[in-house]
A and B are shown apart, each in its own frame.
Chain A
Amino acid sequence: AQSVTQLDSHVSVSEGTPVLLRCNYSSSYSPSLFWYVQHPNKGLQLLLKYTSAATLVKGINGFEAEFKKSETSFHLTKPSAHMSDAAEYFCVERDSSYKLIFGSGTRLLVRP
């Protein structure tokens, strides 16, 4: 069965420093991959998506992610963290039908 693994349940960074949230997927074909962000008591907001076009995907709020097939990874990065980035982030894969497969989430904490 396909699975999405987010390697860190919590990531803590200082404001102004880079952010790296790691994600590995399991499918053997070229998947559709997404990153969603969830702020407290809110629904999910799409940050960015990869659909077999450019391997470096730019999203909203300065986030980007790089698709690396050789590593089956889709890590999310941002050059400089802001306090408002503190939230839970989900890496998601769409399988061969239409279902979304969610990772378990990474909580990003941003220290002043």
Chain B
Amino acid sequence: DGGITQSPKYLFRKEGQNVTLSCEQNLNHDAMYWYRQDPGQGLRLIYYSQIVNDFQKGDIAEGYSVSREKKESFPLTVTSAQKNPTAFYLCASKGDPSGNTIYFGEGSWLTVV
């Protein structure tokens, strides 16, 4: 079945560690996104990529990094520079540029211990 797969679903990080969240899609979509969700807030855009080997900072990119070496993969690294990383992270993708529908993964919970 086509869709977006995020892993792991739950992740615990010690302070000072970098962690990487995986996002894979088999929808053949060009555009991919990472959002962060905090309780009581809407989603905030961390990074996005419109095409392979290209990505742009979103509204809250500090402390995060991404890569887009393959069309189907858009991993997000939460670095030790991110001061408050505990959150729910959602990966999304979109097909053609004029398309209106964004598809989301199931999300990953990151907790700093």
Contact = CB atoms under 8 A, between A and B. Distances in A.
B42 A104 contact: yes
A105 B40 contact: yes
Interface string A24-47: 000000001010100001111110
Given A104-B41, A104-B42, A98 B105 contact: no
Interface residues of B, number: 26
Which label, helix, strand, loop or mixed, suits the secondary structure of the A interface?
strand
A90 B106 contact: no
Interface stretch (B12-20, B66-74, B79-87, B93-101): B93-101
B42 A102 contact: yes
Contacts of A12: none
B55 to A, nearest CB: 13
Interface of B: 4, 6, 31, 33, 40-45, 48, 50, 58, 90, 92, 94, 97, 100-107, 109
Interface of A: 4, 9, 32, 34, 36, 41-46, 49, 51, 90, 94, 98-100, 102-105
16 contacts: A32-B100, A41-B109, A42-B106, A43-B6, A43-B104, A43-B106, A43-B107, A44-B90, A46-B103, A94-B100, A98-B94, A98-B97, A99-B58, A102-B43, A104-B41, A104-B42
